Each structure stands twice: as structure tokens, then as C-alpha cells.
Chains A and B, each alone.
Chain A
Amino acid sequence: MSVPEVVTALHHEESTDPLLLGGETFTSRLLLGTGGAPSLESLERAIRASGTQLVTVALRRVEASSSGAMLEVLDRCGVRLLPNTAGCRTAREAVLTARLAREAFGTPWVKLEVIGDEHTLLPDPIELFDAAEQLVADGFTVLAYTTDDPILGRRLADAGCAAVMPLGSPIGSGLGIRNPHNIALLRDAVSVPVVLDAGIGTASDAALAMELGCDAVLLASAVTRAREPERMALAMRHAVEAGRLARGAGRIPRRWHAEASTQMSGLPEL
């Protein structure tokens, strides 16, 4: 194989290295939240630029919900829907919301969120685990939004969650990945996909998540609230692919001192 052929093959193979999630195959490793977009047109352009195949949606009282136009956009984009349980504070609320979403959207997939605090929107681990067990028993494909605690992540995976989705930092904060070490530990602790969810601010955060070994990235605000959502969506797409490639390529070890890349032998005396 010539060099161009190898590069082409690598590019093709690596950039489409599929994500196996909940028994389904995805060629994109970027999941997009639909919340926060300034308009449906902006959302559609961002979805298309991101290349995502899986987007989150929510349920709200009908008076406060978007019109059917949003669903038309999502259907037109050909993306799969992942209902969330955003806003739920107890296992009971989250389980009921998941069941309502299954009824409304006709999917057993759920992004399970159980929030413990209004200011940080951090997950409540006790309620989360309770809800995860109930939903797995009820046949749901549970993608659990969780803290970056590797032990809790392992417990959620052991309970049958299809994916564990640790936060990088609080939802919408754009603070990036505050504890990369925990994300890497969590990645090693479970065999199901790990999706970095929440806290991404810009493209380098998404790339770092993938370099740490995450299988995918889920983000919303970083794109929908960017000054130019479509352009940021494209940046995120490239960042996720770059991070995945870098992870697979094997980075050089960190060194305390420099190591010349130009040979010293043959150096002239000038």
C-alpha cells in the first residue's frame, strides 16, 4: 500500500471507527443537546455541521413546549432522539418522566438526569442509582448522567446502564474538564461506553475528553450558545475526531527535560 493509500485507509477507518452504544452503531461520536439554540434554523444548521446522529430532547407541559416544528427539523436531519429527564430531583420523578418519554417518543432510550442542587445542577448520586436500577429493570436503555466519581460510574455500569456519562464540570458552565484524572480512572473502571457530558466550553475540551479515553462527547450549550453555533458545531466535530485519533495514535510520554528531535551527531564546529 502506498503512503497516500495508507493515509486514506487510516483516515477512512479511524474517522468512522464506530461507536457501539446500546446495541446500536454510530459513526459520529458527538451527541448534541438541542437546548439553548436561538432559533430552529440555527439548530438545524448546527446539527448538520456537527454530523451528530443522536440528539437529546425533553418533555414539558404542552403550553410551554416547542411546537411540532422542532420535531420536523430533527426528523429532517435524520437524527435519533434521546429523551432526557432534565429537571427531575427524585428517582420517582425521573422514572415517571422516562416512562412518559418512552410513550411520547416511542423509544426506550433515556438520558437519565437526577439533579440534586439548583445552583450546580450536580447529579444526586443516591436518587440517580435508584432510578437507574428501576429503569434497567423496566427494559430501558439507560445513559446515566453522573458525577466524575469512578466508583459510582462502576456501580451504574454494573447495574446495567448502557453508558456512563460523567460531567466535566457543571451543566452550561463551560468550565471544561475539571478533573481529568477522574475521567481517565472512570474510563478504566467500566466496560460500557463513557460519554463526557456537561461542562464542555470549547473544542479543546472535547478533544481532551476523547484523548482521556471517552467514547463520545455530549454537549449542548457550547454549540447552541456560541456566537456562531454552526461554526462551533463543526469545530466540535473535528475536535472529537482529532481526540479520538490522538488517543488511538498513542501520545509521546511527558518528559521533565527537552529531548532534541534533530540528531546531535554530525554537528559542525563553527
Chain B
Amino acid sequence: MKVSVNGTPTDVGEDATVATLVAARAGGHDRVAVARNGDVVPRSSWADTRLTPGDRLEVLAPTAGG
């Protein structure tokens, strides 16, 4: 199915969850946060949150900033 990940159209498997997405896109990163369709997905819900077609996902990680 097609979803949007960080602004890029992306194909993911039918059984994709937020957890599998994070593992694929942010494997080496610590302290990652995910927004799905404008809402926070808490880390405790990543494994249970299945992606649905058309989802808009933002996978974020820490960076330097003022």
C-alpha cells in the first residue's frame, strides 16, 4: 500500500506497523518520535498501530538547534 513518509510517497507491506516503519527508516537512531496524520503515536503503541493506505507519517529524530 502507498503511504507518505516524511513527505515522500512510499510503498509499504500490507502488515506494516509504525514499529516496522521506524525499524526500516530510523534503525540507528535513538529518541525517535512519530506523527501519523497529525497526531503523535506514542512509542508504546508503535507495534500495535497498523498503517493504512494514504497515511501521512513523519519520522523524526533529534538534531542540533537553538
Query: Which residues does A use to contact B, with CB under 8 Å?
Result: 33-37, 43, 56-68, 70-71, 84, 86, 96, 99-101, 103-106, 171-172, 198, 220-221
B47 at the interface (CB under 8 A from A): no
Q: How many angstroms from the CA of A65 to the CA of B32 in the assembled complex?
A: 10
Given contacts A60-B60, A104-B33, contact A34 B28 (CB under 8 A): no
Distance from A39 Cβ to chain B, minimum over Cβ atoms (Å): 11
Q: How many angstroms from the CA of A34 to the CA of B64 in the assembled complex?
A: 5
A66/B62 in contact, CB under 8 A: yes
Task: Give the A-B pair count, Cβ closer than 8 A.
Answer: 101
Main SS of chain A's interface residues?
A: mixed
A58/B63 in contact, CB under 8 A: yes
Surface stretch bound by A, among B9-17, B34-42, B48-56: B34-42
| Sample of 14 further A-B pairs with CB below 8 A, known A96-B38, A100-B35, A106-B31 | A34-B64, A37-B64, A43-B64, A57-B65, A58-B63, A61-B6, A61-B7, A62-B61, A65-B29, A66-B61, A66-B64, A86-B65, A103-B34, A172-B66
B62/A58 in contact, CB under 8 A: yes
B66/A105 in contact, CB under 8 A: no
Q: How many angstroms from the CA of A86 to the CA of B39 in the assembled complex?
A: 18
Which chain A positions have C-beta within 8 A of B43?
103
Closest to B40 in A: A99
Closest to B7 in A: A61
Which chain A positions have C-beta within 8 A of B60?
59-62, 65, 100, 104
Closest to B26 in A: A62
Q: How many angstroms from the CA of A172 to the CA of B60 in the assembled complex?
A: 25
Which chain B positions have C-beta within 8 A of A56?
65-66
Distance from B14 Cβ to chain A, minimum over Cβ atoms (Å): 23
B65/A104 in contact, CB under 8 A: no
Name, among A33, A60, A63, A103, the residue most crowded by chain B CB atoms within 10 Å (CB to CB).
Answer: A103
Q: How many angstroms from the CA of A204 to the CA of B62 in the assembled complex?
A: 32
Closest to B38 in A: A96
5 smallest CB-CB distances across A and B, nearest first, come from A58-B65, A33-B66, A220-B66, A104-B33, A65-B61
Name, among A34, A62, A66, the residue most crowded by chain B CB atoms within 10 Å (CB to CB).
Answer: A62
B59 at the interface (CB under 8 A from A): yes
B66/A171 in contact, CB under 8 A: yes
A68/B59 in contact, CB under 8 A: no
Name, among A33, A60, A64, A171, the residue most crowded by chain B CB atoms within 10 Å (CB to CB).
Answer: A60
Q: How many angstroms from the CA of A172 to the CA of B65 in the assembled complex?
A: 12
Given contacts A96-B38, A99-B40, A103-B40, contact A59 B63 (CB under 8 A): yes
Given contacts A96-B38, A103-B42, contact A59 B61 (CB under 8 A): yes
Closest to B60 in A: A59
Distance from B4 Cβ to chain A, minimum over Cβ atoms (Å): 12
Q: How many angstroms from the CA of A64 to the CA of B60 in the assembled complex?
A: 9
